[in-house]
Amino acid sequence: MLRTIVVLLLSIGVLSLLWLIRPAPAERIAPTWVVPPPPSGLHERIPAAPPTLAPAPPISTETLLVQPNLDVAIPADLYHPADHPALALQLDQALAYVSARFGSPPTSRMRAQIIHDQGCMLRGLARTDQRVLEVLTCNDLPHHRVINIAAHEFVHQLAHDRYGAVHMQSDLIMLEGIATWGAGSYWLGGSPSFRDFVRDNYSANLLPLATHYRGRSIHDMNQLYYQWASFVEFLLETHGRERLDALAVTGNRQPGSGDYVGVYGVPLAELEQAWRAWQES
Ligand SMILES: [Zn+2]
C-alpha cells in the first residue's frame, strides 16, 4: 500500500503543514488535566516537495534506548539526557500496561520516536503499518504528557495487530473508543472507569454516539472520545469481548457505520439506549 495511514494526535487542534488530512479531519482532544490535549484520527502523510532546491535538513542527534518491548529514540536536545532512560522506561511500561488491558500484545517489536517540535505542539501519531509511533513534544512539556499520548497510540498498534489493517478503516466509535478505553489509567485521571469519568464530566449533556467530531469544538471532540470509550466498556461488560472484536472490523470510518445488527442483533440506537441507562445506573 503506497499510502501510509497514520493516527495523529494534536495538542491544540492545529495540524502541522506537514500533514494533510485524509479523508477528513479526525481529531481529538482530552482534558489537559488528564491527557495533553490530543486530537486524533486517521491521517495520511503527504510526501514533502521533491528536494530539488535544497538538501534535506540534518537529522538531529538522538539517543536510542532499547527497552524490553520497544525501541525508543529521543533527540539529544530534548529534555535532559539524564532523564531519557526514565522516559523510555515509562513508555515501555505504558506499552506493557495497555497490552495487558487490551488483551493481546504487539505481534512484533515497535519503535517510539520522540520528536522535538520547535513550535511546542504536543501531538502524536501511529504509523501502524510501519510499527512506528511518533510523539512530538518540547522541553516545556512534562514527560507524563508524552506517555499519556503514547498509551492511546500504542493501542492503535495493538488493535491493528489484533484485527488487521481493516480495523483502521472501521467505525470511528470503535477505532477511537477502543484506543481510548485501552489507554485506561493514562486517560482516566484517577476515575475508576470510563463510565465514572463520563458520568462525572458529561452526563448532563451526552452527545449522540454517532456524532463526528469534525467541525465541532475541542470540548465536543474530547467528550466523544470519552463517551466512545465508555460505550466500549459497556459493550465489553454486557456482551463480551468476542462480539466487540467482531464489531471492531466493520464500518467505514463514519461513526455508527459498524454492523451492530449483524453482531448484536440490534441497531446502534438500541444499544445506545441501553448504554445510557447503564451509564446512569
Ligand atoms: Zn486515536
Number of domains in the chain: 2
- Answer yes or no: do 194 and 161 share one domain: no
More confident residue, 18 or 203: 203
CA of 152 to the centre of ligand 1 (A): 6
pLDDT, greater one: 131 or 57? 131
Residues 159 and 248 in one domain: no
262, with CB counted inside 10 A (0-12, 13-18, 19+), is exposed
Cα of 169 to ligand 1 centre, how many Å? 12
Pair (71, 138) in one structural domain: yes
Q: How far is the CA of 155 from the centre of ligand 1 (A)?
A: 8
**Domain span at residue 246?**
169-280
Q: Per mean pLDDT, which range of 30-39, 56-65, 128-137 is the poorest?
A: 30-39
Q: pLDDT tens digits, residue range 106-155?
A: 999 999 999 999 999 888 899 999 999 999 999 999 999 999 999 999 99
| Boundary-marking domain end, from 140, 167, 194 | 167
Centre of ligand 1 to C-alpha 41, Å, is 5
CA–centroid distance, 52 to ligand 1, in Å, is 35
Flag whether pLDDT at 162 surpasses 70.
Answer: yes
60 alpha carbon to ligand 1 midpoint, in Å?
Answer: 27
Give pTM, 2 decimals: 0.81
Same domain? 188 vs 152: no
The CB density around residue 68, as the number of other CB atoms within 10 Å, is 10
- The answer as to whether 179 is a domain residue is yes
Q: What is the pLDDT of residue 16?
A: 33
CA of 187 to the centre of ligand 1 (A): 12
Look at residue 20 in the predicted model and tell me its pLDDT.
30
Q: Is 143 found in the same domain as 115? A: yes
Q: What is the pLDDT of residue 53?
A: 52
Mean pLDDT of 47-65: 60
Inside any domain, residue 55: no
Tens of pLDDT, residue by residue over 229-275, are 999 999 999 999 999 999 999 999 999 999 999 999 999 999 999 99
Q: Are residues 19 and 157 in the same domain?
A: yes
Q: How confident is the model at residue 57 (pLDDT cuts 50, 70, 90)?
A: low
CA of 40 to the centre of ligand 1 (A): 5
Q: How far is the CA of 160 from the centre of ligand 1 (A)?
A: 12
User: Do the Cβ atoms of 253 and 165 come closer than 8 Å?
Assistant: no
Between these two residues, 8 and 254, which has the higher pLDDT value?
Answer: 254
- pLDDT at position 218, please? 85
Judge whether 196 and 276 are in contact, CB under 8 Å.
no
Tell me if 119 is assigned to some domain: yes
Claim to verify: residue 160 and residue 228 sit in the same structural domain? no
Give me the CATH number covering residue 149: 3.30.2010.30
For residue 149, report the distance from its CA to the centre of ligand 1, in Å: 9
CA of 154 to the centre of ligand 1 (A): 9
User: 38 and 122 in contact (C-beta within 8 Å)?
Assistant: yes
Q: Are residues 138 and 127 in the same domain?
A: yes
Let me know whether 35 and 156 are in one domain.
Answer: yes
Distance CA 218, CA 224 (A): 10
